[in-house]
DNA sequence: TTGTAAGCGTTATCAC
DNA sequence: GTGATAACGCTTACAA
């Protein structure tokens, strides 16, 4: 593979001049430039990016650490983040942690050893002690001390869900979620605001008796059977706000088993976008997280990273997406 | 950030010795090693990976070019490929081409300019002329001259589908696919073997009159309306093999509109895994591509790449996954 | 305008 | 066992 020296030698000039041509920096006489460009084309020379990174001390690669690209929402987020970064001249490394702390640490170390210029972090683990706060890190949906973060407007999402259920004249309203996450895992999530916004709005409208159902986090996957017993005491609910579409999906299955009709007997609202679930025969009405807006917010924070404003937050608006369940 | 010189200076030795300790190469006196290890820990020194790549002329990064991580199957494949590469000490860069040739070229160039050590290529575009055949490239599902590739056993998949429809005593059998791809796009795909295996087996069993329906490629997305007119002439089919689950999904919608019951009146078989589609209320019976096995095959080819056997092929077995539609 | 040379942080060769 | 030092391929003062 030809290098800059070859180009200089064949073009009969110094390597600095070649460099100037490549980077369009500094003055180069027109004829010299043309000569060099010709040689570059002939050799189909491409500057070695490793060497360039070496000199510039940055490589324009950002790592995205996330649990799992198999989940539809993550797959979408991944897609949009990569597009955003690409438009700004950055490449993206993908790191499926599978929620394993050890793997997350390996990837976080890539920031310290100059493998990448920045890290986007999406985790439920407490990686606080493995973060070098002087380096560019942006977190999605989780609070870490002095780490800027991006989250959907979960509070507003809760309000939207409450409004919708009240519009439908629901009288026995329930929230189902795992938002105690913060207490269970030591990692504070923005997701807990879904419940807060929901309950807040209901209270403000004079509705006080929200039924609060918690289910254990730590297994993303919940069975219909598990939920049946959880929901058993509440036979007469007519409006349910679920912390995710995944939960909403399972709840609807439980209701169907019970002989309830959705949405005629019970309204159900999920969270995420209602685009992730199979075999339901209907579209879940859901509070929509916008992966494109989230990606843009993440890109802004990571590419303009500055240690000084490491407590920046960017909150992305949500809206309710119309489905068949509420 | 401390570098190897700092470590050497503080440990009172030469940098070569530090390097030996880091890489566990060559002999180092026990005491010297311990001393150096202590300094490394104190400084929390991490070798600069860019510099290392510079010297070694490789950086242990593989790029995966694919149309879109939003598609469930691609998201899964991505996940498994990343895990495989990780287990072998490699990191993965992700490149959503969105099927745009220009973006694919940018990423393919990363191979030439040393940004990555290898490329996994999943494309429908004819990128033949942009490939440097001396560099490590592995293609999935597409033939390029002298580029090793991995594909599912599409031929066998076709056979399995044929067998299943015959077992169900189907009398009017149809294939729906876009496998003429090769003629339309100049890129040969292994996918065309689905039809070949299917038709072959039917012929071998004395069934000759397979109805062959083609729909235009180039739009991955097909509307129910488009399909209705395509299928209109064939009111009495009772067994359909579709080239993908996406097609199967649409076909089932069309059949439902027609008042046909699936699987009672018509058996439908898809291809991919039947895990990708919403709102159907049933699981598609499908020929299953195994993303883990595919990922392993890809990893084998890319990490053991050798120009000499650039026409290697790895064919991954498929099986039929039981669903509700056939 | 252009070229020389230092420097980026490693690894590896070759003396000692 | 260990330490200088060249080399990897580039960018960028600085000098000419």
Tens digits of residue pLDDT in B161-175: 999 999 999 999 999
Contact across the interface for A281 and B281, Cβ inside 8 Å: yes
Q: Which bases of strand D sit closer than 7 A to a protein CB?
A: 1-5, 7-14
What are the backbone dihedrals phi and psi of residue B122, each rounded to the nearest 5 degrees, phi first?
Answer: -130, 100
What's the pLDDT at B182? 44
- Which is more confident, B204 or A69? B204
Percent of chain B, pLDDT > 70?
A: 94
How much is the pLDDT for A216? 63
Q: Provide long-range contacts, Cβ within 8 A and 24+ apart, for A295-300.
A: A295/A77, A295/A80, A295/A81, A295/A83, A295/A84, A296/A80, A296/A84, A297/A150, A298/A81, A298/A84, A298/A120, A298/A138, A298/A140, A298/A150, A299/A81, A299/A84, A299/A85, A299/A88
Stretch among A29-43, B8-22, B185-199 having the lowest mean pLDDT: B185-199
Q: What residues form DSSP beta bridges with A211?
A: A174
User: Searching chain B, which residue's CA lies closest to the CA of residue A89?
Assistant: B106
Partners of residue B152 on adjacent β-strands: B316
Distance from CA of B207 to the nearest CA of A (A): 34
Question: Which residues lie closer than 8 Å to B161 by C-beta, 6 or more apart?
Answer: B194, B197, B198, B241, B269, B271, B287, B320
Specify the pLDDT at position A182. Answer: 44
Instruction: List protein-proximal bases of chain C (any atom < 7 A from a CB).
Output: 1-5, 7-14
- Å: A21 CA to D15 C1': 20
> Could B51 and A46 be called an inter-chain contact, meaning their C-beta atoms sit closer than 8 Å?
no
Q: Residue B54 is nearest to which of A50, A93, A98, comparing CB atoms?
A: A50
pLDDT of residue A188: 73
- Quickly give A12 CA vs C4 C1' distance in Å: 15
CB contact under 8 A, A93 and B92: yes
Chain B: give the shortest CA distance to residue A60, in Å.
10
Q: Do B50 and A79 touch (CB under 8 A)?
A: no
Q: What is the pLDDT of residue B72?
A: 80
| 8 Å CB contact between B198 and B158 | yes
How does the average pLDDT of chain B come out, rounded? Answer: 91
* pLDDT value at B301 more than 70: yes
pLDDT in tens, chain A (326 residues): 899 999 999 999 999 999 999 999 989 999 999 999 999 999 999 999 999 999 999 999 999 999 988 888 888 999 999 999 999 999 999 999 999 999 999 999 999 999 999 999 999 899 999 999 999 999 999 999 999 999 999 999 999 999 999 999 999 999 998 765 544 455 678 888 999 999 999 999 999 999 998 876 554 556 788 888 888 899 999 999 999 888 898 899 899 989 999 999 999 999 988 776 655 678 899 999 999 999 999 999 999 999 898 889 999 999 999 999 99
Contact B94 A82 (CB under 8 A): yes
**Within 10 Å of residue B32's Cβ, how many Cβ atoms?**
17
Count of C-beta atoms within a 10 Å radius of residue B219: 10
The 10 Å Cβ neighbour count of residue A132 is 14
To probe the interface with B, which of A48, A59, A75, A85 has the most B CB atoms within 10 Å?
A75
| In the predicted structure, residue B221 carries a pLDDT above the cut 70 | no
Between chains, do A114 and B76 touch, taking CB under 8 Å as contact? Answer: no
Of B316, B307, B320, B305, whose CA–CA distance to B140 is shortest?
B316
Instruction: Write down the pLDDT at residue B300.
Output: 97
Helix (H) or strand (E) holding A293: helix A291-303
Task: Decide: B224 and B157 in contact? Cβ < 8 Å.
Answer: no
Q: Which residue is closest, via its CA, to the C1' of C13?
A: B16
- Quote the pLDDT of residue B217: 53
* Residue B56, CB, strand C, below 7 Å: yes
Residues of A within 8 A of B53 (CB-CB) are 50, 53
């Amino acid at each position: 593979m030809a290098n800059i020296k070859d180009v200089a030698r064949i073009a009969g000039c110094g390597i600095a001049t070649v460099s100037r041509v490549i980077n369009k920096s500094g003055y180069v006489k027109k004829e010299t430039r043309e000569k060099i460009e010709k040689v570059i084309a002939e050799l189909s020379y491409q500057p070695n990016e490793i060497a360039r990174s070496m000199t510039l001390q940055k490589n324009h690669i950002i790592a995205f650490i996330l649990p799992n690209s198999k989940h539809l929402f993550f797959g979408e987020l991944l897609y949009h983040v990569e597009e955003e970064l690409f438009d700004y001249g950055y490449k993206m490394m993908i790191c499926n942690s599978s929620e394993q702390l050890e793997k997350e640490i390996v990837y976080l170390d890539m920031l310290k050893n100059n493998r990448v210029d920045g890290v986007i972090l999406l985790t439920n683990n407490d990686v606080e002690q493995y973060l070098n706060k002087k380096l560019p890190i942006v977190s999605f949906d989780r609070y870490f001390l002095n780490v800027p973060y991006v989250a959907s407007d979960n509070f507003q999402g809760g309000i939207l869900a409450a409004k919708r259920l009240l519009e439908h004249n629901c009288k026995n309203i329930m929230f189902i979620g795992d938002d105690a996450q913060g207490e269970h895992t030591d990692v504070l999530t923005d997701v807990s605001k879904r419940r807060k916004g929901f309950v807040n709005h209901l209270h403000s409208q004079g509705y006080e008796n929200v039924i609060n159902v918690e289910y254990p986090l730590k297994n993303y996957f919940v069975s219909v059977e598990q939920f049946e017993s959880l929901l058993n005491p509440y036979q007469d609910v007519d409006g349910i706000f679920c912390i995710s579409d995944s939960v909403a999906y399972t709840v609807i299955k439980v209701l169907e088993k019970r002989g309830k009709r959705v949405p005629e007997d019970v309204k159900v609202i999920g969270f995420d976008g209602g685009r992730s679930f199979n075999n339901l025969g209907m579209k879940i009405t859901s509070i929509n997280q916008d992966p494109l807006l989230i990606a843009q917010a993440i890109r802004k924070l990571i590419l303009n990273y500055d240690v000084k404003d490491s407590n920046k937050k960017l909150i992305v608006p949500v809206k309710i997406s119309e489905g068949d369940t509420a």
